[in-house]
Amino acid sequence: MMGKVHLSAAATRRGAALLFLVVSAGAIRESLRLQALSGADAVGSGAFPGLAALALGLAALVLLSGWRDQSIAFEVSQPLRVLAALLAMIAFVAALGQAPILPVIAAFVALFQALLGERRLPVIFGGAAAVTLAIQVMFGLLLNVPF
């Protein structure tokens, strides 16, 4: 029997902001360590933790600002769909070392959208292509991470 879970919006926001700030601080520390090891000021793979820290820090500020102040309620009404999504994530991680990364990402995004209930094929394939392209641009072109 599944029941609804009600969370205070303010407490959830503060908790998430605190978590984001802790992870952001760790990412900044790691970014500085990687930059010191490489001895280069150029943007590269060592800059990724710093970019992630910046995004998390901005997310924490948005959460603390109370931008979306409303109650949060959710219900797990389809546990098999949740289980299928969990298994899809495990399969995705397992496939990362076995197959080329960009097709694996595209397939995972398409599968995950279908598991979440999306049925329009242009949206599924367009979303998979957009996410894959964004990852290629961010990591392959901007951060020079080889695939």
pLDDT tens across 66-83, in order? 665 555 565 667 778 878
Helix (H) or strand (E) holding 5: strand 5-7
In which band, very low, low, confident or very high, does the pLDDT at 43 lie, cut at 50, 70 and 90? low
The whole-model pTM stands at 0.51
CB atoms within 10 A of CB 53: 22
Calpha distance 16→145 (Å, rounded)? 30
Please report the pLDDT score of residue 125 as a whole number. Answer: 92
Res. 130: pLDDT tops 70: yes
Over the stretch 102-124, which tens digit does the pLDDT of each residue have? 899 999 999 988 888 888 989 99
For the chain, the C-alpha Rg in angstroms (whole number) is 19
